[in-house]
Amino acid sequence: MMHIALIAKPWRGGLADYVHAALRDIAGPEQVTYLPVRPVQLRDSWGRVAKRHWYDRLYRHLETTPYDMVLFLQPTGLMQAIADSHKKVCWLVDGARIDPQLAAGVGHLFLSDPGNMDVLKTRAPAHHIAGILPFAMAPHIHCPGPASCTADRAMGFIANHDPKRDAWLESMFAAGLDCHVHGNYFLSHPLFRRHPLRIHPAVPVAAMQALYARYRLSLNIHAAIVQGGTNMRTFEAAGYGVPQLVEHLPGIDQLFDPDTEIATFRTIEELTAQQQRLLANPAAATRMAANARVRVLAEHTYHHRMQTILARFR
């Protein structure tokens, strides 16, 4: 039996929770320990004030606890607390941002974004790079809403602001595309002041199922840091069963079929044409969403991703 530690920040988007749940299902609850790099509960709020103490406590714990494998979601100096590089696995989920000295001490490096592989090769020993590990979905979370829910809006976009997305949204609104945005654009961005009826507050993960049920289409424009493949949203929206319009990036067709599972675009003109086509043909949009959901359940769950990591580690 393996004793596994998961080191991650408690993302609001749920990534650490999804990985933790998958590891517990595969290895057994008693074999997996989640060690967040910052407090996640109110009783631990002192850690926000005494960050150094929180960090040092984690460092000492990793130095003295004989884990068989330690999985890091993103690099951290805590990696240095573990002497055996083979025990250390790091999943880079935000570009290829890792210090070469840290990379040299990590036995297994996975990268979510194939477009950043060339960068990672300049920062890490080739024999430490385990390969591409895309994002995924959690079937118990990302599932369709009740059948009674009816979509009353054309297209929804759940996203935090990013310079690249800003430019796309400016062009979309200028072109008259019907789209509502949910995220931190609300109240804090000039786009909200210019289009207040199109910009809405961010929603927690627990509310996304009901939100997606209101839209006939889901829009996904990648942040500037994403260079290839796709982000978490594409996998999650596929699980929710909503037809998707996704910005085309190199490698996305290795994850989804752009003809039968998702619709992709590279320009405003292509986005407009795809939106009009799918809104005019709801039966085709429904088939596309159903195909995408079959695909993610068969290939793109966090259980699949953790099985890949464990197989490589062993």
- The pLDDT tens digits of the residues spanning 93-114 come to 999 999 999 999 999 999 999 9
Beta-bridge partners for 90: 72, 109
pLDDT at 45: 58
Q: Report the 10 Å Cβ neighbour count for 209.
A: 19
Rounded mean pLDDT of 36-47? 67
pLDDT at 271: 98
pLDDT at 199: 96
Structure tokens that stand for 292 in this block: 């995408």
Q: How confident is the model at residue 13 (pLDDT cuts 50, 70, 90)?
A: confident
- pLDDT tens digits, residue range 160-183? 999 999 999 999 999 999 999 999
Lowest mean pLDDT among 30-44, 49-63, 93-107, 113-127: 30-44
**Mean pLDDT computed over every residue of the chain:** 93
- pLDDT tens digits, residue range 66-92? 999 999 999 999 999 999 999 999 999
Q: How confident is the model at residue 23 (pLDDT cuts 50, 70, 90)?
A: very high
DSSP for 214-283 reads TEEEEEE---TT--SS--HHHHHHHHHT--EEEE--TTGGGTS-TTTT-EEESSHHHHHHHHHHHHH-HH
Question: Does position 137 have pLDDT exceeding 70, yes or no?
Answer: yes
Q: How confident is the model at residue 50 (pLDDT cuts 50, 70, 90)?
A: low
- pLDDT tens digits, residue range 205-228? 999 999 999 999 999 999 999 999
Rounded to 5 degrees, what are φ and ψ at 219? -100, 140
pLDDT at 51: 75
Report d(CA 104, CA 126) in Å as an integer. 10
Question: Does position 44 have pLDDT exceeding 70, yes or no?
Answer: no
Query: Between these two residues, 45 and 141, which has the higher pLDDT value?
Result: 141
Nearest residue to 228 (alpha-carbon basis) of 244, 248, 258, 256: 248
DSSP alpha helix (H) spans, the chain: 15-27, 46-49, 51-64, 100-104, 117-121, 163-175, 190-194, 205-212, 232-240, 268-280, 282-299, 302-313
- Tokens 């654009």 correspond to 185
Report the share of the chain in percent with pLDDT over 90. 86
Question: Does position 147 have pLDDT exceeding 80, yes or no?
Answer: no
Topology agreement, domain 4-133 and domain 153-299: yes
pLDDT at 286: 96
Q: How would you class 5 by CB atoms within 10 Å of its CB: exposed for 0-12, middle for 13-18, buried for 19 or more? A: buried
**Orientation of helix 15-27 relative to helix 302-313, angle to 10°:** 60
Report d(CA 170, CA 191) in Å as an integer. 8
pLDDT at 149: 57
Q: Is 262 left (phi over 0), alpha (psi -120 to 50) or beta?
A: beta
- pLDDT tens digits, residue range 259-282? 899 999 999 999 999 999 999 999
Q: How confident is the model at residue 11 (pLDDT cuts 50, 70, 90)?
A: confident
Q: How confident is the model at residue 305 (pLDDT cuts 50, 70, 90)?
A: very high
pTM, two decimal places: 0.94
**Orientation of helix 268-280 relative to helix 282-299, angle to 10°:** 110
Query: What are the angstrom distances between the C-alpha of 207 and each of 202, 214, 296?
Result: 10, 11, 21
Question: Does position 10 have pLDDT exceeding 90, yes or no?
Answer: no
Domain boundaries, the chain: 4-133, 153-299
Domain covering 153-299 in this structure, CATH number? 3.40.50.2000
- Tokens 């951290």 correspond to 76
Domain covering 4-133 in this structure, CATH number? 3.40.50
